[in-house]
Amino acid sequence: MTLSALVFTIFSFGSIGLFSWKMKSIIAQIKLGKAISRSDRKAERWKTMLLVAFGQKKMFTRPFVAILHFIFYVAFVITQIELIEVFIDGFSGGHRYFFHAGLGNFYVLVISAIELLSILTFIATLIFFARRNIIKLPRFTMAELKGWPRNDANLILLFELLLIGFIFLMNSADEARLNILSNDSYSFAVSQFIGPLLADSLGNLDTLEVLSKIGWWGHLIMVFIFLNYLPYSKHLHILFAFPNTYFSNLDAKGKFSNMESVENEVKLMLDPNADPYAAPAKDAAPQRFGAKDVQDLTWKQLLEAYSCTECGRCSSVCPANQTGKLLSPRKIMMDTRDRLSEVGNNKMNLEDGKSLLGDYITPEELWACTSCNACVQECPVNIDPLSIIVDLRRFLVMEESKIPSELTGMLTNIENNGAPWQFSPADRMKWTEEN
Partner 1 sequence: MNLQVPTMAEMMASGETPDVLFWVGCSGSFDDRAKKITKAIAKILTHCKVKFAVLGTEESCTGDPARRAGNEFTFQMQAQMNIQVLNGYEVKRIVTGCPHCFNTLKNEYPELGGNYEVLHHTQLIQDLINTGKLALEGGTAFKGKKITFHDPCYLGRANEVYEAPRALIEKLDGELVEMKRCKTNGLCCGAGGAQMFKEAEKGNKEINIERTEDVLAANAQIVATGCPFCNTMMTDGVKNFNKEAEIQVLDVAELIAQAADL
Task: Examine residue 420 and tell whether it contacts partner 1 (CB under 8 A).
Answer: yes
Please calculate the CA angle 366-404-416 and round it to the nearest 5 degrees. 120
Q: Are 46 and 246 in contact (CB under 8 A)?
A: yes
**Residue closer to partner 1, measured from CB, 324 or 353:** 324
**Within 10 A of 347 (CB to CB), how many other CB atoms are there?**
7
- Using CB under 8 A, which residues numbered 365 to 384 contact partner 1? 367-374, 376-377
Q: How far is 42 from 38, CA to CA, in rounded Å?
A: 9
The DSSP letter of residue 260 is H
Task: Examine residue 425 and tell whether it contacts partner 1 (CB under 8 A).
Answer: yes
* CA dihedral angle for residue 331, residue 333, residue 339, residue 342, rounded to 10 degrees: -110
Q: How many of the chain's residues bind partner 1 (CB under 8 A)?
A: 70
**Residue closer to partner 1, measured from CB, 218 or 319:** 319
Query: Shortest distance, CB of residue 251 to partner 1, whole angstroms?
Result: 7
- Provide the mask over 275-314, with x wherever binding to partner 1 is found by CB under 8 A and - wherever it is not: --------------xx------------------------
Q: Are 390 and 397 in contact (CB under 8 A)?
A: no
Please calculate the CA angle 276-279-285 and round it to the nearest 5 degrees. 95
Residues in CB range of 347: below 8 A, 6 or more apart? none
Please calculate the CA angle 98-104-107 and round it to the nearest 5 degrees. 55
**Residue closer to partner 1, measured from CB, 172 or 316:** 316
Task: Examine residue 409 and tell whether it contacts partner 1 (CB under 8 A).
Answer: yes
Task: Examine residue 427 and tell whether it contacts partner 1 (CB under 8 A).
Answer: yes
Please calculate the CA angle 151-328-392 and round it to the nearest 5 degrees. 120
Task: Examine residue 272 and tell whether it contacts partner 1 (CB under 8 A).
Answer: no
Taking CB under 8 A as the criterion, the residue among 147, 254, 272, 353 binding partner 1 is 254
- Provide the mask over 320-359, with x wherever binding to partner 1 is found by CB under 8 A and - wherever it is not: x-xxxxxx--------------------------------
Binding footprint of partner 1 on the chain (CB under 8 A): 61, 251-256, 258-259, 262-263, 265-267, 269-270, 289-290, 317, 319-320, 322-327, 364, 367-374, 376-377, 390, 393-398, 403-404, 406-407, 409-411, 414-415, 418-421, 423, 425-435
